[in-house]
Amino acid sequence: MGNGEQLVTIAAVLLGALTTHLTTYVMERSRNKYALVTRWDDRKIDAYEGYVDRVRAGIFLSVQLYEHKEGIRPSGKSEGDLLEELLEAARLRGRAFERVMLLGGDAVVEAGHELNTAALAIDWQAEGKTVGTLDEWRSRNRAAFREINDFHEAARMDLGVQGSVKGEQHPQRDLILPSSRREGDTSDT
């Protein structure tokens, strides 16, 4: 075998090694990028779920305080204890929203701001900072749950989840109230 053939063979081996190295590099980089995206999606899901859980917990505490103060359903706890629990829930909701702001897309963050506004309106009426009727109370709660659905929708889009939680497949839902407390029946109010 002559020098020319040996150089061609060496060049072919070097080209094969270089091609293998580049292919491995590109595949590894793609795998790492996918792992990073997946890791952030997992953290986003945790942040979104935790935030909605905190919002809902605060709303339920507001309902408990409001119903206790209005004499609709007395609580086994004092008004002061209920208020303290509500304030702690609001603090935790704020902390959960900070995670959403760090990880969420623009639409998710904006939906979270709208949800915070609706949740605060409920808190304030329960605390007595704003005055309102039972119908206004229910309206505030309806608005908050609509905002929760809007937040879910934005979060699903941010995560690339197929489908929707609103629209023709999912009709608008109303508050679930005992029959004696439905709209138009004011015998308990």
Q: Write the pLDDT tens digit of every residue in 33-66.
A: 766 656 678 899 999 999 999 999 999 999 999 9
- Tell me, yes or no, whether 126 lies in a domain: yes
Structure tokens at 180: 């004696």
Structure tokens at 174: 């109303």
CA–CA dist 174, 111 (Å, integer)? 20
CA–CA dist 131, 126 (Å, integer)? 9
Q: Is the pTM of this model over 0.75?
A: no
CB-based burial label for 137 (10 Å; 0-12, 13-18, 19+): buried
Q: Which of 93, 90, 26, 113 is nearest to 53 (CA)?
A: 93
CA–CA dist 158, 40 (Å, integer)? 11
- Tell me, yes or no, whether 63 lies in a domain: yes
- Tell me, yes or no, whether 77 lies in a domain: yes
**How many Cβ atoms from other residues are within 10 Å of residue 112's Cβ?**
25
- Tell me, yes or no, whether 177 lies in a domain: no
- Tell me, yes or no, whether 61 lies in a domain: yes
Give residue 6's pLDDT. Answer: 85
User: Is 16 a residue whose pLDDT tops 70?
Assistant: yes
How many domains is the chain partitioned into structurally? 1
Return the higher-pLDDT residue of 69 and 185: 69
Find how far residue 174's CA is from the centre of its chain: 20
- Tell me, yes or no, whether 98 lies in a domain: yes
- CATH number for position 74: 1.20.1420
- Tell me, yes or no, whether 97 lies in a domain: yes
Segments forming the whole domain that contains residue 87: 3-160
Assess contact for 153 and 111: CB atoms under 8 A. yes
Give residue 189's pLDDT. Answer: 43
pLDDT in tens, 104-154: 999 999 999 999 999 999 999 999 999 999 999 999 999 999 999 999 999
